[in-house]
Amino acid sequence: MNYVYKTSLPTSVSIYSPNLKQTRWGSDDVAVEVPVALVYNYISHVVMMASPANLEDFAIGFSLTEEIVEARDQIHHVHVTQTKSGITIRLQIADDAFEKLKSKRRNMTGRTGCGLCGIESLKQAIRPIPSVEAPQISHDVITQALETIRAHQHISGLTGATHAAAWCSLKGDIKLAREDVGRHNALDKLIGAMSSTSLDRHNGFILVTSRASYEMVQKTCMAGAGCLIAISAPTSLAIEQARQAGLLLIGFARADKQIIYHDPHQPELLNHVI
């Protein structure tokens, strides 16, 4: 029997007011976070902590951005099972993709002393990043997307605890959005959802309500998108990866200004503000 998870739960809390120097009892909505196991062709591969929403999108997006499959059509079936102890997502993938995954898993066996499982050298820690074609985007378009992103953050509106990732048109309209307690998960969910649509990756950009780590840049480029805009800051490695891929990378996105960390249309400029 499946156990159906909610994305938020009311919790009794005590609320302290420093001005009144008083404490009162109240209720607060908190985001639900559960273990999610990804199983490929009946072999368990990884367990992630995630929000229990849009899990098929998550499994598909993770499989694409982690290069477990090369294309959406290599995933033949996705089945989500929920229990009290967590969620299992079973994916049936193409034989050649599964053989490649098994080879990776054999290389992971018995390795210790490294923060990244199955990695035995620094060179292996950062995967090659595909080149992308960056669009040209105006300040007004970014502002339009920023003004409407909150309307797509239903879990965050209740809990304040989730990140969002959105696909936006070159007019600033949000076409798709996904949420999760993990910023990488939110982006994987978005990419998984995009893989089942006809959205043109050359005519839009990804907006995230988080920082832009190098993994976020990697996943954006794996999805074929040419621009990543983050509400918070990027890391140095994210900027380096963006330059290698030709990705338009913008951070600290606000209505009054945005900081451009890499713009392949203006390669002579380093960080600049619009």
Q: Which residues are annotated as a binding site?
A: 252-257
Burial track 136-160 (b if 16+ CB lie within 10 A, e otherwise): ebeeebbbbbbebbeebbbbbebbe
Torsion of CA 102, 218, 210, 243, to 10 degrees: 160
Angle formed at CA 192 by CA 177 and CA 93, multiple of 5 degrees: 165
Q: Tell me how far apart the terminal alpha carbons of the chain are, to the nearest angstrom.
A: 54
Contact 12, 29 (CB under 8 A): no
Query: CA dist 38 to 35, 49, 55, 65, 91, Å?
Result: 10, 11, 10, 14, 7
Distance CA 221, CA 271 (A): 20
Catalytic residue IDs: 114
Strand partners, 75: 93
Q: Which of 232, 158, 180, 200 is nearest to 55 (CA)?
A: 180
**φ, ψ (nearest 5 deg) of residue 236:** -60, -40
- Which segments of 30-138 does DSSP mark as H helices, in order? 55-65, 95-108, 122-125
Collapsing DSSP to helix, strand or coil, 238 comes out as helix
